[in-house]
Structure 1
Amino acid sequence: MNSSDLAAFIAANGAAAEIIRTADHTPTVEAAAQALGVHVDQIVKSILLLADDSPVLVIANGTARVDLKRVADHLGLPRKRVKMADANAVLNLAGYAVGSMPPFGHKTQLRALIDSRAFEQSEVFAGGGEINAMLRIAPDEILRIVGGEKVEVTQNGS
């Protein structure tokens, strides 16, 4: 899948979002923020986890570290049963490559947890489906579209 698929999803779901092309690949939060001319706290990441082999998408500020223990506690599971999905699982379940994954429009319906810190910004930028594309959107719009849960899943102070 790519940014064209994401654009079709945005149109079909009436999402208030825009795909922005960047001149270069933005492999880090800092590079993405610099390319877009925004603060690093406005960049969010979409991370796919496996909880008892069921996919769970975590959307969090790009500079924050996802706390797998907090995720496990929220899901009612022991920490050892929650792990990061590998690149193949991400591609198979979401349809997007690691590093370009948007917060929605995936191949598979994913349960989504959105870290509460993401809501500190009125506008954020997420993966846009390709390495040179970013998605501009409000955190509340992500929540509306994914039907996710607003929770605290990042480490304190991160």
Structure 2
Amino acid sequence: MQLVIAALTERGADPASVAGLRVLPDAVATAAAAAAALGVEVGQIANSLVFDADGAPLLVLTSGAHRVDTAKVAALVGAQRVRRASAEFVYAATGQRIGGVAPVGHPAPLRALVDRALEGYPQVWAAGGIPHAVFPTTFAELVAVTGGEPAEVA
């Protein structure tokens, strides 16, 4: 969690995003659980999903209301094959466990796509590096702090 806070600060995130980081009493490993715990729409949850794109990690920040279309994502990034990464692959790429992967705070920056559907919400919530932590942010801030590319991923 401290790596996430440091990365957000270093990458110029709004101090309110950093200060808004919450540690919830229960793990929120799914978008539905996070939305229920926060009292927001499931679409406001920015899922940080790591995919294996021809052997390279690819971070897709998608609205909790969407399911990523891997064929569409493969075409967007010029990969032959994009598939869900194993837990070990995710941990090696991010240093974080599935269910708590944050958009930032990884050992090295990851190529990222940011779901344009998140742009429809004035505030979205992303994982803070552990399954119990979330922080408020915006679509624009996610694009900025990840160096991500806005994309239609569903």
Q: What TM-score do the two structures reach when normalised by structure 1? A: 0.89
Q: After the TM superposition, which residues 26-45 of structure 1 pair with which residues of structure 2 at under 5 Å, given as runs?
A: 26-45=28-47
Does the 8 Å contact 2:12/2:145 carry over to 1?
Answer: no
Structure 1: which 5+ runs fail to align? none
Task: Look up the SS of the partner of 1:55 in the other structure.
Answer: strand
2:71 aligned to which of 57, 69, 88: 69
CA RMSD in angstroms comes to 1.2
Task: Look up the SS of the partner of 2:21 in the other structure.
Answer: strand
Q: CA deviation at 1:152?
A: 0.7
Q: What TM-score do the two structures reach when normalised by structure 2? A: 0.91
Runs of 4+ in 1 over 6 A off after TM superposition: none
2:128 paired with 1:125: no
Aligned to 2:136: 136
Cα distance per residue 1:17-74 (max 9 Å; x no partner): 2311212111222221111111111111011111111111101011210000100111
2:19 paired with 1:21: no
Which segment is superposed worse, 92-101 or 28-37? 28-37
Q: Distance in 1 between matches of 2:75 and 2:23?
A: 37
Q: Distance in 2 between matches of 1:49 and 1:39?
A: 25
Q: Distance in 1 between matches of 2:33 and 2:141?
A: 24
Question: Could you tell me the percent identity over the aligned residues?
Answer: 36
Cα distance per residue 1:95-125 (max 9 Å; x no partner): 1100101112211210001111111111100
